[in-house]
Amino acid sequence: MSYDFFGKVMKNLLFLLLTLSFVGCSNLLYHPDDIVYSTPKQFNLDYKDLYFNSKDGTKLHAWLLETKAKKKKGLVVFFHGNAQNLSSHYLSLAWMVNKDYDLLIFDYRGYGKSEGEPNPKDVNDDAISALEYGKSLFDKGKYPRFIVYAQSLGGVIALRGLKDFSARSRVDLLVLDSTFSSYQEIARDRVSQVWFLWPIQHLTYLLMSDEYASYDYIEQFDRPALVIHSKDDQVIPLKFGEEIYQKLKVKKDMWVLEGVPHIGTYHGNAFKERERLLNYLEKLSQ
């Protein structure tokens, strides 16, 4: 290959880097939409359409899916992954409602019906506000368990939000499913997978900030945690889940799955994993 060829490649890389720097990291991190993909009513699930305010007054949208059981086993606050909105992501855990759990899922600002535009600082405030709102529902409902379940992008958001959650001691379990802890590292990993971007992979540290990531907080987190990750996750490689598990200093477990796609832990006929989680939650009170 000629010198001119590499020269053109480098010029294109520099142009791309400059474009990304002007676009800003928020557009690289978040991919929301406001399409209603489905509602719990379509699956004969009872739910309430709710709104609560983030710390700056931004109105956030949420659904509370409610079990028909008289004796509820717990409240699950669900931090969903990237892209789309709660109307697609709730299906990952909707099955828990028929197993006597209530499920609170909310949209970060800019997603679905939530107001505003997402950025790391404000989304962190959304996380804290969602935890506080979930805690108010938990107290009102007198649930026996308070579970925080976080998938993909929701994992880094939830764990960082828990740092400043005043009632963190009431959380019985944090589940980190198919997630990561550093925006910089996941960006570098994704860029490195594209051959013509490989030379500039380390420049992602200039575009991304970890100020509101959870990487530096993991070792200080003080509640029980369960890490779930698949060897076949093509979006967030297993190494990111393993790193979180290794850094956690609390009572912890890790489930390494095989043949499961990104955030596909309970999809399809994954009844074994569903039962595994239910049994795990039952043991929390023993």
Which residue's structure tokens are 């929301």?
A: 32
User: In the predicted model, what is the mean pLDDT of the chain?
Assistant: 88
pLDDT, residue 270, reads: 77
pLDDT at 15: 44
Distance CA 9, CA 228 (A): 39
Q: How far apart are CA 280 and CA 116, in angstroms?
A: 37
pLDDT digit string, tens, across residues 33-84: 999 999 999 999 999 999 999 999 999 999 999 999 999 999 999 999 999 9
181: alpha, beta or left, given left = phi > 0 and alpha = psi -120 to 50?
Answer: alpha
Domain covering 32-74+89-147+163-170 in this structure, CATH number: 3.40.50.1820
**Mapping DSSP to helix (H, G, I), strand (E, B) and coil, where does residue 139 land?**
helix
pLDDT of residue 5: 42
| Domain spans, the chain | 1-30+181-225+241-254, 32-74+89-147+163-170
pLDDT of the residue at 148: 98
Q: DSSP readout, 262-284?
A: TT-TTSTT-HHHHHHHHHHHHGG
Cα dist. 103→79, 121, 167, 242 in Å?
11, 25, 19, 27
226-281 per-position pLDDT tens digit? 999 999 999 999 999 999 999 999 999 999 999 999 999 998 777 899 999 999 99
Region of poorest pLDDT, from 5-14, 70-79, 185-194: 5-14
Q: Identify the band that residue 189 occupies on the pLDDT scale cut at 50, 70 and 90.
A: low
Q: What integer pLDDT is reported at residue 156 of this predicted model?
A: 97
The pTM score is 0.89
Query: Can you tell me the distance from the alpha carbon of 268 to that of 160, in angstroms, rounded to the nearest whole number?
Result: 31
Reported as a single tens digit per residue, the pLDDT across 127-165 is 999 999 999 999 999 999 999 999 999 999 999 999 999
Residue 175 burial (CB < 10 Å; 0-12/13-18/19+)? buried
pLDDT given at position 185:
85
Q: Measured between alpha carbons, how far is 66 from 87 in angstroms, rounded to an integer?
A: 16
Percent of the chain with pLDDT over 70: 83
Average pLDDT over residues 196-216: 70
Distance between start and end Cα atoms, the chain: 66
Instruction: Give the pLDDT band (50/70/90) at residue 10.
Output: very low
Residue 58 pLDDT: 98
Q: Could you tell me which of 268, 225, 265 has the C-alpha nearest to residue 249?
A: 225
Would you say residue 13 has pLDDT above 70? no
Distances (CA, A) of 108 to 92, 116, 190, 198, 217: 17, 9, 23, 31, 21
- Selected residue with higher pLDDT from 173 and 2: 173
- Provide the angle, in degrees to the nearest 10, between the axes of the packed helices 183-192 and 238-247: 150
The three-class DSSP label of residue 254 is: strand
